[in-house]
Copies of this chain bind each other. A is one copy, B any other.
Amino acid sequence: MKVTIYDVAKKAGVSIATVSKVINHTGNMREETRKKVMNVIEDMNYQPSIMASALSGKGTETLGLLVPDISNPFFSMIARTIEDHAHEHGMSVIMCSTDEDPEREKKYLDVLQRKQVDGFIVASSFHEKKLLRKLVEHDVPLVMLAYDDASLDVSKISVDDLKGGYKAADHLVSLGHRQIAVIAEHTNSSKLRILGFQERLESQGITLKEENIYRTTASTLNGKACFDKIFQRKDHGLPTAIFACNDLLAIGVIQGAMEKRMSIPDDLAIIGFDNTILATTTVPGLTTIAQPIEEMGKKVVEVLIEEIKEDVSVNQRVLFNPELIVRGTT
């Protein structure tokens, strides 16, 4: 059926050990032998079984990627760069969308373990912390991406959310806005973004009242709903600008504003976060705080691979610099 190491060995007139050695570039041997074997390998189109080598001690050369939802543009962009860099290191990646559902989280973690993936990347959120903790205790390589949770003792790669908040605030303030509303998620990231935003506002003598912070989950629909809520309150000065903690939410706001025939950015300025493809497809384009997704993806893979190879958690925390991308909504 399929050609195995035995077939190659036999045809090359050597032992399987020798074949194994040339495949793995281990041990020494006469250049002549190595060439002979190489040729046979080519001839027979021999492809070593990763299953077998994994079973006998080596890794599976595959990574598990857990994200809330791969169909969300932010995560699919992340997945793409991770996939690319993983493959540069000879690793494949199995994707898993958790939907932030503990059941699914558990199920996926389970399967990935049974498949003996060499390492895990957990992005953005994870509820079953204990399961993660158990993994870490068992020395399973695991790195968190865009999810800076102090309660987990592992390496973390993320954008500097606080600074992102700063930049959003600075931009809006420099444009003269003083009445600002915020729409956020319930995540850690959002909290930090708000914190930075708030700090910066206050340093310029502007206070952001708690009642002007709206919390929801990421979707355009929810963004629009928040917009509606904000503008139906007529009790006090309406905001001239909105900071949405991600692009999806920001787009919901754009839609709400358009529907109300408000002019953007004159009647209302909007700034998002992430810089996904969605920020480029609206008209006007969405001003947003960009996460350096490409670099972040590269870094997670590097750190994870290192932990897999070195067999030890370097346990580092890397914060990337967010960048303001000005488009038409401000």
Q: Is the CB of B62 within 8 A of A70?
A: no
A150, CB-defined interface residue at 8 Å? no
Would you give the shortest CB distance from A123 to chain B, in whole angstroms?
14
Selected from B52, B62, B79, B258, the residue in CB contact (under 8 A) with A283 is: B258
A179, CB-defined interface residue at 8 Å? no
| A68 CA to B102 CA, complexed, in Å | 31
Known contacts A220-B281, A251-B281: does B84 contact A97 (CB below 8 Å)?
A: yes
Known contacts A71-B76, A76-B71: does B277 contact A254 (CB below 8 Å)?
A: no
Flag A72-96 by CB within 8 Å of B: 1 or 0 each. 1101110110011001000011111
Q: Which residues in window 91-135 of A have CB below 8 A to B?
A: 92-97, 107-108, 110-116
A321, CB-defined interface residue at 8 Å? no
Q: Is the CB of A115 within 8 A of B282?
A: no
A54, CB-defined interface residue at 8 Å? yes
Q: Is the CB of B113 within 8 A of A97?
A: no
Selected from B73, B116, B255, the residue in CB contact (under 8 A) with A277 is: B73
Interface range, A side? 35 or more
Q: Is the CB of B94 within 8 A of A94?
A: yes
A13, CB-defined interface residue at 8 Å? no
Report B-chain residues with C-beta under 8 Å of the C-beta of A113.
47
Q: Is the CB of B92 within 8 A of A93?
A: no
| A186 CA to B195 CA, complexed, in Å | 49
Q: Is the CB of A49 within 8 A of B220?
A: no
Selected from B93, B94, B283, the residue in CB contact (under 8 A) with A255 is: B283
A308, CB-defined interface residue at 8 Å? no
A314, CB-defined interface residue at 8 Å? no
Selected from B50, B93, B108, B116, the residue in CB contact (under 8 A) with A49 is: B116
| A54 CA to B47 CA, complexed, in Å | 16
Q: Which residues in window 239-268 of A have CB below 8 A to B?
A: 251, 254-255, 258
Q: Is the CB of B60 within 8 A of A70?
A: no
A238, CB-defined interface residue at 8 Å? no
* Interchain residue pairs with CB less than 8 A apart (13): A47-B110, A51-B55, A51-B60, A69-B80, A70-B76, A70-B83, A75-B76, A76-B76, A84-B97, A87-B111, A94-B94, A220-B281, A255-B283
Q: Beyond A50-B115, A71-B77, list 9 extra A-B contacts (CB 8 Å).
A: A47-B114, A51-B55, A71-B73, A93-B94, A93-B95, A220-B281, A278-B281, A281-B282, A282-B282
